[in-house]
Amino acid sequence: MQQVYKATDVGLVRKGNEDNLVVFDTVYAVADGMGGEAAGEIASQMLVDTIKEKLAGRDNIGERELCQAVQDANMAIRHYVWEHPACEGMGTTATLLHIDEHCCRAFWAHVGDSRLYLLRGGAETLEQITRDHSYVEDLVREGTITHEEAKRHPQRNMLTRAVGVMEELVVDSGQLTIHDGDIFLLATDGLMKHVEDTAITHILRENAENPAQALLNAALAAGGRDNITVVVVSLT
Ligand code: CA
């Protein structure tokens, strides 16, 4: 069985919420729009609308179908930009998860710096499944800076990949076998900026009535500058 919790909030500083989320059938996604308030909101909305349009009611969703939905959203946003040249540069992150009907396998697709995490059974810590497509992530991988330095780096918000920015888009994807008790977390960076992995793990283990809301509240309590969006999928 899958229990799903979701929460999104504008945060304490921004005027608009450029984040979006979608939860339907057994498809879950978060999106973090960029390109100025209205454009960012439009981009992340177009992403979730396209996912719903392409995948709702479909059988046999796998990596390929998730990636194609992201590619379709990329083209939809590019078309919008062609018609609205002032919006050039608008785009969105996309992190998608699908659990198959037998709760045996999880499929994911991903672009940008939102994240998919897995908290498994007796594991002490979260496992980050997706890799950030960001400038600072590349620097960390090269060994130029540490993870801690990345969090404070002046260019920490610079993405190397986003949906809607260019015609050519590479979408990461993967799949894994599910174990009883697995908890998946999808989140935009508004959560990770303020809440450490250890605190996230603790909150997910707490059995809060709504763990997504509990995580969001933790980000707000820590200052919550950015928009915050969280989806938690708990498998029992
Ligand atoms: Ca953000």
Long-range Cβ contact pairs of 72-81 (< 8 A, separation 24 or more): 73/46, 73/47, 73/163, 73/164, 74/163, 74/164, 74/167, 74/169, 75/167, 76/46, 76/50, 77/43, 77/46, 77/47, 77/163, 77/164, 78/164, 78/166, 78/167, 80/42, 80/46, 80/164, 81/164
Per-block mean pLDDT, blocks of 10 residues, the chain (236 long) = 94 93 96 88 97 94 98 98 94 97 94 98 89 96 92 91 97 96 97 95 92 97 95 94
Give the chain's end-to-end CA distance (angstroms, integer).
5
Q: Partners of 181 in the beta sheet?
A: none
Residue 98 near residue 61, CB atoms below 8 Å? yes
Tell me, what's the pLDDT at 116? 98
H-state helical runs in 56-185: 63-83, 135-142, 147-152
* Residue 188 CA to ligand 1 centre (angstroms): 6
* Residue 59 CA to ligand 1 centre (angstroms): 32
Q: How many whole angstroms separate alpha carbon 168 and alpha carbon 137?
A: 21
* Residue 3 CA to ligand 1 centre (angstroms): 25
Q: pTM of this prediction?
A: 0.96
* Residue 121 CA to ligand 1 centre (angstroms): 29
Tell me, what's the pLDDT at 193? 93
Tell me, what's the pLDDT at 153? 92
Tell me, what's the pLDDT at 122? 75
Tell me, what's the pLDDT at 151? 87
Residue 213 near residue 206, CB atoms below 8 Å? no
Tell me, what's the pLDDT at 110? 98
Question: All domains of the chain, ordered by start, with CATH?
Answer: 2-235 (3.60.40.10)
Q: How many CB atoms lie within 10 A of CB 137?
A: 17
* Residue 192 CA to ligand 1 centre (angstroms): 10
* Residue 205 CA to ligand 1 centre (angstroms): 25
Residues near 208 by beta carbon (within 8 Å), at least 6 away in sequence: 214
Tell me, what's the pLDDT at 21? 97
Tell me, what's the pLDDT at 37? 64
Instruction: Identify residue 50 by its one-letter amino acid code.
Output: T
